[in-house]
Structure 1
C-alpha cells in the first residue's frame, strides 16, 4: 500500500471516529433529579445536538414538556407540545435552543424549567 493511500485511510478513520463519537447523557438536576429550582443546572455544561437528557422525577407530581421559547418564558404549554410523564424520560437534544418545563400549575414558576443550547 502506498504512503499516500495509507495517509488517506488514516484520515478517513479519524473522521469516522469523530462523526460516530458517542453522545453524552446528562441527568437533569444530577442526583436531585427534575425538581424545583433546577433552572440553573445547565450552566457550565457544553451540550451538542444528539446528547440526551434524562429527567428523573415522581410522575404522580411532575411531568416534562418540551416547549418553545415563549412557552418557557411564559410558563405555558402551547397546543401540540410533547408531554412526557414516565418519571424516567430520555430526550435527545436538537441543535439550537431546547426548552423544557413542568406544566403542573405553579411548578414552572418555581423554576422547574431549563433552557439548553446544543451546538
Structure 2
C-alpha cells in the first residue's frame, strides 16, 4: 500500500512544476490580435519564459500572424520566400521554445502601420525574473496553493 502512495506523490512532484510554471498569454487580452491596439503597452509586467505560449485570437478573414526576424519586423514585411510561416486559424497557439527576441506581425496590408505588431523577449527558465508586478503575484499565489495541496496529500497518505 505504501508503494502506490509514494508513486502518486512522486508523479505529482514531477508533473506539478511543469504545469504550474508555464503560462498561456492571450495576446492583447480581451482585444485579441487586431489593429489600433498598442502591443508595446500590453507587454510590460509580463515575463515570457521558455515553455510559455502565446495565443493569438483574431478574425481569420481579416488578419493573420507571421513570425518574422528583427529586420523584417522593422521593415514591416512578411517573408517573401516562405509564406508557410503564416498562422491563419484565428486561434493560434505559439509555443515559446527558445530564449531571445521574438517578433510577430500581421501580413494584411497596412496593419503593421495600424499597430498590429508584437515584439517580446523570452527568458530561459533559469533566468532570474524581474521584480514582481501585480499580474505576477497571482501566479505566485496559485503556485503556493498548489504546493500546499501537494504537501497536504503527503500527510493524507
TM-superposition CA deviations, 1:74-117 (whole Å, max 9, x none): 11012325100000000011311111000101001111000010
State the distance in 2 between where 1:77 and 1:55 align.
17
Q: Secondary structure in 2 aligned to 1:34? A: coil
Task: Report the RMSD for the aligned CA atoms in angstroms.
Answer: 1.9
Q: Does residue 95 of structure 1 match 2:95? A: no
Mapping of residues 8-19 of structure 1, within 5 Å? 16=14
Name the counterpart of 1:109: 113
For structure 1, the 5+ residue unaligned runs are: 1-12
Shift of 1:64: 0.4
Shift of 1:17: 6.6
Q: What is the number of equivalent residue pairs in this alignment? A: 106
Which structure dedicates a bigger proportion of its chain to helix? 2
Name the counterpart of 1:83: 86
Name the counterpart of 2:64: 63
State the distance in 2 between where 1:44 and 1:72 align.
22
TM-score (norm 2): 0.61
State the distance in 2 between where 1:72 and 1:43 align.
19
Shift of 1:39: 2.3
Shift of 1:35: 1.1
